Amino acid sequence: ASFRRIPTPTFAPRVDSLVAVQLPADQHRLLDALQTMPQWESGAKVSVQQLYEQACLAVDPMSDDAFDNAIEYLEASGALRIEEGLTDDDDDWIFNAKVDGDKVEREAAPSAVDLEEAESGVQNEVPMGVVVFDRERHALYDYEAEQSAAEAVVCILAKLKRFGVESADTKEWPALTAACNRLAEVTADSPAPPLRDDPRLFGDWELVGTTSKEFSERRGVSGLGNAPFTAPKAVFFRFLPTGVCLAKEVLEFFGNPVVLNELRGRFGFSADGIFMQEQYTEADMGGQLTNPSFSGGSATLRGLCITADGSMRIGSGGTGGAFFVFKKILPGELDAWLQSWNLPLCGGTAVVMSKEQQRVAYPYRELI
In tens, the pLDDT along 47-62 reads: 888 888 877 776 567 7
| Residue 107: pLDDT over 70 | no
Over residues 190-244, the pLDDT tens digits come to 988 888 888 889 999 999 999 999 989 888 898 888 888 889 999 999 999 888 9
pLDDT score at 16: 29
Task: Return the higher-pLDDT residue of 73 and 218.
Answer: 218
| Residue 4: pLDDT over 70 | no
Are 51 and 33 spatial neighbours (Cβ–Cβ below 8 Å)?
yes
Q: Residue range 175-182: average pLDDT?
A: 96
Q: Which of 107, 111, 130, 131 is nearest to 122 (CA)?
A: 111
pLDDT score at 172: 96
pLDDT score at 2: 34
pLDDT score at 227: 87
Are 266 and 276 spatial neighbours (Cβ–Cβ below 8 Å)?
no
Over residues 302-316, the pLDDT tens digits come to 988 999 888 999 999
| Residue 109: pLDDT over 70 | no
- Which amino acid, 250? V
pLDDT score at 208: 94
DSSP string, 16-53: TTEEEEPPPHHHHHHHHHHTTSHHHHHT--EEHHHHHH
pLDDT score at 328: 94
| Residue 118: pLDDT over 50 | no
State if pTM tops 0.75: no
What span, in angstroms and rounded, lies between the C-alpha atoms of 138 and 133?
A: 7
Are 296 and 279 spatial neighbours (Cβ–Cβ below 8 Å)?
yes
| Residue 130: pLDDT over 60 | no
Half-sphere exposure of 227 (CA within 13 A, CB side): 12
Q: Residue range 244-272: average pLDDT?
A: 92
pLDDT score at 102: 41
| Residue 85: pLDDT over 50 | yes
